[in-house]
Amino acid sequence: MEWLFKPDPDQKKVLALSEELGIGEFLCELLVQRDIDSFEKARQFFRPALDELHDPFLMKDMDIAVERIDKALKNNEKILIYGDYDVDGTSAVSLVYSYLQKLHDQVATYIPDRYSEGYGISYTGIDFASDNEIDLVIALDCGIKAIEKIRYAQKKGIDFIVCDHHRPGDELPEAVAVLNPKREDCSYPYDELCGCGIGFKLIQALTNSLEKPEEEVYPYLDLVATAIAADIVPITGENRILAHYGLKVINEAPRPGIQALLKSSNKELLTITDVVFTIAPRINAAGRMEHGQFAVDLLSEKDPFKASQMAEEIDSFNLSRREMDASITQEALEQIEQKNERESFSTVVYDESWHKGVIGIVASRLIETYYRPTLVFTKSGSKLAGSARSVKGFDVYMALHECEQHIEQFGGHKYAAGLTLEPENYDAFKICFEEVVQRKLDSKTLIPQILIDRKVDLSELDFKFYRILSQFGPFGPGNMKPVFMASGLRDNGFGKKVGKEGAHLKLNLITGNHFKTLDAIGFNLGDKLELVRSGQPFQAAFTLESNTWNGKTRLQLNLKDLQPDV
């Protein structure tokens, strides 16, 4: 890994902010690095306020969407809430369904089958709506590219409202309303909402239109925070407010479904990271291993006992998912070795037997070994389905756009995308993708980087500092947890490998003066034990966290990398 330091902040701004806020220069340096250089910016950062959420009617077509839903309610029309099978989609469906269910008894949900229908709006789903005499479909986290399918729905007399956050194509679907802040003609002040976030703006607008107190929509923020965490959208601007208060709901009054998923957690206060690793994988496992409707049912359930039973079933799906992605990852690594593709600029692998539900996870796992843009394909009906993941600084969505002559359809984001293609086009696509990556990718991008905020001495780190640092959260893209670097470190002699096959590293670090020791854990750093035991001082890049064990809470370094001292 390459260690890079953030530029030194403007010291005049640091000193002025320190005096204005009455906190130390160290913390103010971290704030100024985040462009927080005034009392007002610091207030907004540390004290996000719900009254600073944007007016939902600033979003293009929001007034039309609300008017159409209001018409459906008054005329007792049947409404179908349709969404993708991942965390963002199922959370969004549960949110809008739970809200409308209180106003209307003619509301149903639909999640497409990952295997028989694929991503997004399907002809099967539209036929289902037609067979059940649905008048209005509200599509969440999908639909922005469903041009032909929405035309098909129109012919069947079905209206669509599309709520999506993916990049639009050259043409928008002919829906009644298209809510997407990424539309070129949309002037909404914030364009990084997730699909569930747009669903929340829709119910916020409906609440305003019905002249109800806006507080009625705040309990739904646990779903929004879960989707923000899982979909890896920037936790800046409006997302920061939504995530902050969504975490409060998760920690103080979660819905029965989320509470059931958390029963095995021993954390007193969950963070965004905890949501990513505790709640999100289980919700995702439903759509990956069985059907996304399991997740919607769990997240919409009001009875705690039923929710607990549903959560146990979803836990079993997640266990199966973990076993499967481990075995497929190993098979994919062996395929790369056998085909001698270690020196390629990209990874593209395929096996018709691989489970479609885990190929995205496998792509992420492969990047941990071969740090480069990665696609994993499997057979899906008569076609090949692929999942793409990328590395920092490379837009995989645009790379797929340059190979679209070999692709049937694709969609997604800069760092994650999905696609389908005909089997006979696989080899040509693989060659094209490698050519695009070689041409577009700076070779330096293939070296994983750690961006370090500041060098520290372990003696500077204590619980008072950590408590203030924790208020920098929620952490995520656009506001990553600060990474520190300390040098002259040694272990107290009890350092060891831990975890399955000794993959992780457990240390108790001391500095040269021996006055300060701190626990440290390094996930997937087990191979660094030799450096630790060499007797030579070393340096560490790490984030700071707390760890509770046997009723005692201690500061702990979460190691990102170790290097010899220079």
Look at 62-71, 239-248, 515-524, 557-566 and tell me which has the smallest mean pLDDT.
Answer: 515-524
* Contact partners, residue 211, CB within 8 Å, separation at least 6: none
Q: For position 494, what pLDDT does the model report?
A: 85
Over residues 131-166, the pLDDT tens digits come to 999 999 999 999 999 999 999 999 999 999 999 999
Q: For position 97, what pLDDT does the model report?
A: 98
Q: Which residue has the higher pLDDT, 231 or 376?
A: 376
Mean pLDDT, the chain, rounded, equals: 93
pLDDT confidence bin for 215, thresholds 50/70/90: very high
* pLDDT of residue 96 exceeding 90: yes
Q: For position 535, what pLDDT does the model report?
A: 84
Q: Greatest CA span in the chain, whole angstroms?
A: 78
Tokens coding 491: 């272990």
State the average pLDDT over residues 497-525. 85
* pLDDT of residue 513 exceeding 80: no
Q: For position 554, what pLDDT does the model report?
A: 87
Question: Is there a contact between 243 and 115 (Cβ–Cβ < 8 Å)?
Answer: no
Over residues 184-203, the pLDDT tens digits come to 999 999 999 999 999 999 99
* pLDDT of residue 550 exceeding 90: no
State the average pLDDT over residues 428-442. 94
Nearest residue to 209 (alpha-carbon basis) of 125, 334, 99, 320: 99
CATH class of 325-446: alpha beta
pLDDT confidence bin for 446, thresholds 50/70/90: confident
Euclidean distance between CA atoms 556 and 287, whole angstroms: 35
pLDDT confidence bin for 44, thresholds 50/70/90: very high
Nearest residue to 21 (alpha-carbon basis) of 49, 42, 48: 42
Over residues 20-36, the pLDDT tens digits come to 999 899 999 999 999 99
* pLDDT of residue 444 exceeding 80: no
Q: Which residue has the higher pLDDT, 13 or 167?
A: 13
Q: For position 340, what pLDDT does the model report?
A: 82
Query: Nearest 5°: CA angle at 21, between 20 and 22?
Result: 100
Over residues 101-110, the pLDDT tens digits come to 999 999 999 9
- Domains of the chain, by residue range, sit at 7-43, 56-313, 325-446, 449-564
Q: For position 266, what pLDDT does the model report?
A: 62
State the average pLDDT over residues 317-332. 93
* pLDDT of residue 514 exceeding 60: no
State the average pLDDT over residues 549-553. 80
Q: For position 515, what pLDDT does the model report?
A: 61
Question: Is there a contact between 179 and 162 (Cβ–Cβ < 8 Å)?
Answer: yes
* pLDDT of residue 493 exceeding 60: yes
Q: For position 411, what pLDDT does the model report?
A: 81
Q: Which fold has domain 56-313?
A: inorganic pyrophosphatase (n-terminal core) (3.90.1640)
* Domain 449-564: assigned CATH number: 2.40.50.460
* pLDDT of residue 311 exceeding 90: yes
* pLDDT of residue 268 exceeding 80: no
Question: Is there a contact between 470 and 521 (Cβ–Cβ < 8 Å)?
Answer: no
DSSP character string of 362-402: HHHHHHHHS-S-EEEEEEETTEEEEEEE--TT--HHHHHHH
Q: For position 447, what pLDDT does the model report?
A: 86
Q: For position 510, what pLDDT does the model report?
A: 85
pLDDT confidence bin for 553, thresholds 50/70/90: confident
State the average pLDDT over residues 271-282. 90
Euclidean distance between CA atoms 403 and 399, whole angstroms: 7
pLDDT confidence bin for 392, thresholds 50/70/90: confident
* pLDDT of residue 90 exceeding 90: yes
Q: For position 459, what pLDDT does the model report?
A: 84
Nearest residue to 13 (alpha-carbon basis) of 32, 30, 26: 32
Phi-psi region of 539 (alpha: psi -120 to 50; beta: other; left: phi over 0): beta
pLDDT confidence bin for 264, thresholds 50/70/90: low
Q: For position 551, what pLDDT does the model report?
A: 77
* pLDDT of residue 277 exceeding 80: yes
* pLDDT of residue 89 exceeding 60: yes
Over residues 328-353, the pLDDT tens digits come to 999 999 999 988 887 899 999 999 99
DSSP character string of 472-527: TPSPBTTBPPP-EEEEEEEE-S--EEESGGG-EEEEEEE-TTSS-EEEEEETT-GG
Look at 49-53, 170-174, 290-294, 548-552 and tell me which has the smallest mean pLDDT.
Answer: 548-552
pLDDT confidence bin for 69, thresholds 50/70/90: very high
Over residues 168-188, the pLDDT tens digits come to 989 999 999 999 999 999 999
Which amino acid type is present at position 143? G
Q: Which residue has the tokens 């990271």?
A: 273
